[in-house]
Amino acid sequence: MSNDVELMRKEEATTTTIPPEGRTDFVDLYERTVSDVFSYLLSRVGDRATAEDLTQDVFVAGARRDAAGDVVDLAWLVGVARHKLVDHWRAQARYERNLELVHSSMETRPIEESAPIDPGLASVALAGLNPTYRAALVLRHVDGLSVSAVADHLHRSVEATEQVLSRARAAFRETYQGSNR
């Protein structure tokens, strides 16, 4: 009988700590920021299902952090989203290597500087690159990170990242010009 009383007290304590309507601060944060996090991820992966999965992973991490009593805000969530995105691209690269997809070296032909870039073709060209190249270009040129910050995200040296960026730009140029014909 004392166990029943104890359980009832625990239930009462649990229900009294939840704000009215059963809402928590994290639920409010989720509702305010989920579209921002999802849009950030969707714009980079281009695939709705993958963006939804990554968004879920971000908010699961946020819920765990919130449950531990740590502060969770939009900036933290976007930072986690960036890391989840890089992890996704790494996993995709491993998968492609396991399937022995060989990427041929591509000739470098400069794009005319006066020619405007078509965002639709650029998205298609970016999606056609291998995940490492895509991650490097997005982090450097879309997110505006420094080369050293990109190197940290890709777990490479700055010199190796500069080489990856150079090769990625050449591959993007070739793919973009090929789809622009």
Q: What is the pLDDT of residues 123-176, one digit of tens each?
A: 888 888 898 998 998 899 888 889 999 999 899 999 999 999 999 999 888 888
DSSP for the chain reads -HHHHHHHHHHHHHHHHSPGGG--HHHHHHHHHHHHHHHHHHHHH--HHHHHHHHHHHHHHHHHHHHTT----HHHHHHHHHHHHHHHHHHHHHHHHHTTPPPPP----PPPTTSPPPHHHHHHHHHTS-HHHHHHHIIIIIS---HHHHHHHHT--HHHHHHHHHHHHHHHHHHHHHHT-
- All residues at 6 or more sequence positions from 156 whose CB lies less than 8 Å from its CB, including other chains: 164
- The residue that leads in pLDDT, 24 or 115, is 24
**Residues 134 and 72 sit within 8 Å (Cβ to Cβ):** no
Domains of the chain: 1-85 (1.10.1740), 103-181 (1.10.10.10)
Report yes or no: 88 and 50 within 8 Å, Cβ to Cβ. yes
pLDDT at 9 over 60: no
When mean pLDDT is compared across 6-20, 111-125, 157-171, the lowest value belongs to 6-20
Distance CA 12, CA 8 (A): 6
**pLDDT higher for 49 or 21?**
49
What would the pLDDT profile of 59-98 be if each residue is shown by its tens digit? Answer: 999 999 999 989 999 999 999 999 999 999 988 888 777 6
Give the pTM: 0.52
Q: How far apart are CA 173 and CA 87, in angstroms?
A: 25
State the number of CA atoms in the 13 A half-sphere of 76 facing the CB.
14
Q: Is the pLDDT of residue 30 over 50?
A: yes
In total, the chain counts a number of residues equal to 181
